[in-house]
C-alpha cells in the first residue's frame, strides 16, 4: 500500500510520522540515478556491518546521506521556506486535521 502524501506533496506518512519526500521536480533520469546510488550505499552499509568494517561503514553511511540529500529527503528543503517537519508526528503538526480525516486503513 502506498503511504499517504500530504496535500502539499512535501511528506509521506508512515506509522503516523511525517517523512520528507524526494523532490518531485527532479528529472526522472536524475532521480533514478540517485535512487540507484542510495540502493548501492544501503547494500554497502549491510556488507560493512556484516564484515564488522568500521571504515567501510562510515563511508557507506556517508554515501547514504549524500544520496538522500541529492534526492531532497535530507538537507535543505526543496520547497520555498525553511519549515521542515520531517520525523514529526502528523497529529502534532499543521497536517493534524488532514491526517485525522484519512481513512483509518491509511494510518499505517
- The reply to whether 16 and 35 lie within a common domain is no
Nearest to 20 by CA among 97, 84, 89, 92: 84
Q: What is the pLDDT of residue 108?
A: 60
The C-alpha cell at 8 is 502539499
- The reply to whether 31 and 67 lie within a common domain is yes
Rounded distance between C-alpha atoms, residue 68 and residue 36, angstroms: 11
pLDDT tens for 12-69 read: 999 999 999 999 999 999 999 999 999 999 999 999 999 999 999 999 999 999 999 9
Q: What is the pLDDT of residue 47?
A: 98
The C-alpha cell at 90 is 502528523
Per DSSP, the chain holds a count of helices (H) and strands (E) of 3, 2
pTM here is: 0.85
- The reply to whether 30 and 64 lie within a common domain is yes
- The reply to whether 33 and 65 lie within a common domain is yes
Answer whether residue 106 shows pLDDT above 80.
no
- The reply to whether 41 and 15 lie within a common domain is no
- The reply to whether 56 and 85 lie within a common domain is no
74 phi and psi angles, rounded to 5 deg: -135, 175
| Full domain range(s) for residue 49 | 26-72
Q: What is the pLDDT of residue 104?
A: 78
- The reply to whether 31 and 68 lie within a common domain is yes
pLDDT tens for 62-92 read: 999 999 999 999 999 999 987 899 999 999 9
- The reply to whether 68 and 33 lie within a common domain is yes
Amino acid at each position: 500500500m502506498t503511504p499517504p502524501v500530504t496535500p502539499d506533496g512535501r511528506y509521506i506518512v508512515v506509522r503516523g510520522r511525517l517523512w520528507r519526500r524526494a523532490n518531485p521536480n527532479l528529472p526522472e533520469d536524475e532521480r533514478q540515478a540517485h535512487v540507484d546510488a542510495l540502493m548501492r550505499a544501503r547494500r554497502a552499509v549491510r556488507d560493512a556491518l556484516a564484515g564488522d568494517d568500521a571504515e567501510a561503514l562510515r563511508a557507506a553511511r556517508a554515501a547514504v546521506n549524500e544520496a538522500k540529500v541529492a534526492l531532497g529527503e535530507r538537507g535543505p528543503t526543496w520547497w520555498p521556506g525553511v519549515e521542515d517537519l520531517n520525523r514529526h508526528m502528523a497529529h502534532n503538526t499543521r497536517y493534524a486535521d488532514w491526517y485525522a480525516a484519512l481513512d483509518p486503513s491509511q494510518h499505517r
